[in-house]
Structure 1
Amino acid sequence: MKHIKRYQSTSLRTEKGEIIIEGPLSSIELEKYQFHDDLHAFRPAQKQLEALLGIADLEEGRIIICREGELIVGYVTFLYPDPLERWSTFAMEDLIELGAIEIAHPYRGLKLGSKLIELAMRDEMMENYIIISTEYYWHWDLKETKLSVWNYRKIMEKMMASGGLTPSPTDDPEINSHPANCLMVRIGKHVPQASIEKFDRLRFLEQDRLRSLRKGI
């Protein structure tokens, strides 16, 4: 599968000034900008920037950013699922994951997360993918926002819906370990039926394994 990346951009006037939303960007393009120190939800800011540079140069990797001037204040990533996770079990070339989305705290409340996802979906190439996002409450910034897990989930669902991702059932034990966790999914209009059926097996992999065991008895 050829992963075509078509650059998109837009600007947004906010109380913080003009915010540019753009991508996908290469590592060379990302290195032109500074990285906000508050982007540290997953690892220290400099380490997270290094991770983004690596993703940007992956064949399927996509980094969309929002920036004020030369300062990156938010980003979203898309890439193949981690090889150690169940979502890579069938090595589906048309399944990618919204791996991370983060907005620096001073810029929250401007709906930049939704704008990042909206821009990402403008690329017609995204219609060739099944896009997933695994939402775990322990990754959410509950302490800073002072929201309950349920109110935070509502915000996450609304943000993901801006890009067409909706909750989807699964028997994944980690997701089902807490009722606030969820699997968000968007199936592009050009995804073949064979991939959709394989993804359905993947969503219910535990049941699929049980069926296989019973057939082997």
Structure 2
Amino acid sequence: MPQPSITIPFVFETLSFPPPLLYHKPFYSTIFLLCWKGQFWKGETFYRMNHIKIYQQSSVPYQNTELVLEGPVPPEQLRRYTMHPDLDAFRRPKEQFEALVEIAGLPEGRIILARHEEVIVGYVTFHYPDELERWSEGGMLDLIELGAIEVANAYRGLGLGKKLIRLAFEDGQLENVITFTTEYYWHWDLESSGLTVWQYRDMMEKLMKSVDMVWFATDDPEICSHPANCLMVRIGKNVPLSSVELFDRVRFRQRFMY
């Protein structure tokens, strides 16, 4: 009888000394771990997250040619490409390109992109939440943020956003993590899209639901500042209950109110 395959979310290594300290946030009394670039040290045991990265590629017809969708793309490959000048929603294209290269080089970082020949026309980023945001306060190894989605204006209407996100979840690559995204209306391109706030919110919600991300409640002040803002979450099949419970405590600081 064949044995079921099991994805091991953590790798354990024994060290005789602690790794360099990046930050230490004992937000909850049950957490006494030192976090270092997605790795934990407790006593003499080093806990390292097993980030599964399996390169995927597909194509989409475009005019008389095709667009290549691929990822996770390593930084050395990414540097061979250039950014489309319309990809400026977050910062100037050159600066955003350097940010993508940096993310691609992180142990947990993932860049899934669409390119027209050697020009990047769309991308999705995955990485650990920023250390200054509440989502990092639990020090969770298995909490990954879907950080940015951007598609150049001339390439919209092809369903690239949905295709890129789906590509990221191929072959169960993110089944050992909780993936979340925070949607804020002030980041949305309402002017170019011609959509109202609520139409754009509906579009983003449908986009996230294409990979089984669902709306989660939170008392985060930024999300609560406008009813169109939302938190969308996908809990992988191999995520332990302890991580789900810790994430619940991260998203609710004022638990007694709920």
Q: Which residue of 1 aligns with 2:94?
A: 46
Give the TM-score, by structure 2 length: 0.79
**Which of structures 1 and 2 has the bigger CA Rg?**
2
CA–CA distance in structure 2, aligned partners of residues 18 and 206 of structure 1 = 50
Which segments of 5 or more consecutive residues in structure 2 lack a partner in the other structure? Answer: 1-48
Percent identity between matched residues is: 58
Q: Which residue of 1 aligns with 2:125?
A: 77
SS in structure 2 of the partner of residue 128 of structure 1: coil
Tell me the CA shift for residue 15 of structure 1.
3.8
Give the TM-score, by structure 1 length: 0.93
Any idea what the Cα deviations from partners look like across 1:50-70, whole Å, max 9, x if unmatched?
A: 000000000100000001111
Is 1:8–1:123's contact at 8 Å kept on the other side of the alignment? Answer: no
Q: 1:8 aligns with which of 29, 52, 56?
A: 56
AA matched with 2:170: R
Is 1:142–1:148's contact at 8 Å kept on the other side of the alignment? Answer: yes
Any idea what the Cα deviations from partners look like across 1:162-181, whole Å, max 9, x if unmatched?
A: 12211111111110100000
CA–CA distance in structure 1, aligned partners of residues 153 and 231 of structure 2 = 25
Q: 1:31 aligns with which of 64, 68, 79?
A: 79
Q: Which residue of 2 aligns with 1:214?
A: none
Any idea what the Cα deviations from partners look like across 1:130-180, whole Å, max 9, x if unmatched?
A: 000000000000111121100001110111111221111111111010000
AA matched with 2:250: L
Q: 1:191 aligns with which of 218, 239, 242?
A: 239
- How many residues get paired? 210
2:66 matched to 1:18?
yes
Any idea what the Cα deviations from partners look like across 1:174-211, whole Å, max 9, x if unmatched?
A: 10100000001000000001101111111112326x89
- 1:53-132 equivalence runs, <5 A: 53-132=101-180
Greater per-residue helix proportion: 1
Is 2:109–2:125's contact at 8 Å kept on the other side of the alignment? Answer: yes
Tell me the CA shift for residue 2 of structure 1.
1.9
Question: More displaced, 148-157 or 9-18?
Answer: 9-18
SS in structure 1 of the partner of residue 51 of structure 2: coil
Q: Give the RMSD, CA atoms, in angstroms.
A: 1.4
